């Protein structure tokens, strides 16, 4: 999975865009961003990155972000999708 496919996946599963940012960072969102050494998934709290997870490839970062958003959707709205196996 790449970032384009991930955006489509979130649209199909009705994930509110206010919960995430793909490509960069935004306050109070789960973010996926490309770095010099790979990819990062993290929560942006004001100016601080929290829970930074580093990945060497785009697919692993996308799958991690998808899983984090699945958990957040379940906590906030009581809805989720079946995690990939």
First vs last Cα of the chain: how many Å apart? 14
Coil, strand or helix: which one is 67?
A: helix
pLDDT digits 0-9 by tens, 33-81: 999 999 999 999 988 999 999 999 999 999 999 999 999 999 988 887 7
Coil, strand or helix at 29: strand
pLDDT number for residue 82: 74
Q: Which residues pair with 71 in a beta bridge?
A: none
* Neighbour-count burial for 57-80, b at 16+ CB within 10 Å, e otherwise: ebebbbbbbbebbbebbeeeeeee
Q: What is the model's pLDDT at position 34?
A: 97
């Amino acid at each position: 999975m790449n970032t384009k496919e991930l955006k489509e996946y979130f649209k199909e599963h009705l994930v509110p865009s206010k919960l995430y940012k793909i490509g960069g960072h935004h306050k109070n969102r789960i973010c996926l961003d490309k770095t010099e050494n790979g990819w990062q998934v993290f929560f942006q709290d004001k100016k601080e990155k929290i829970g930074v997870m580093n990945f060497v490839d785009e697919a692993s970062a996308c799958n991690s972000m998808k899983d984090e958003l699945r958990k957040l959707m379940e906590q906030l709205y009581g809805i989720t999708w079946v995690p990939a196996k």
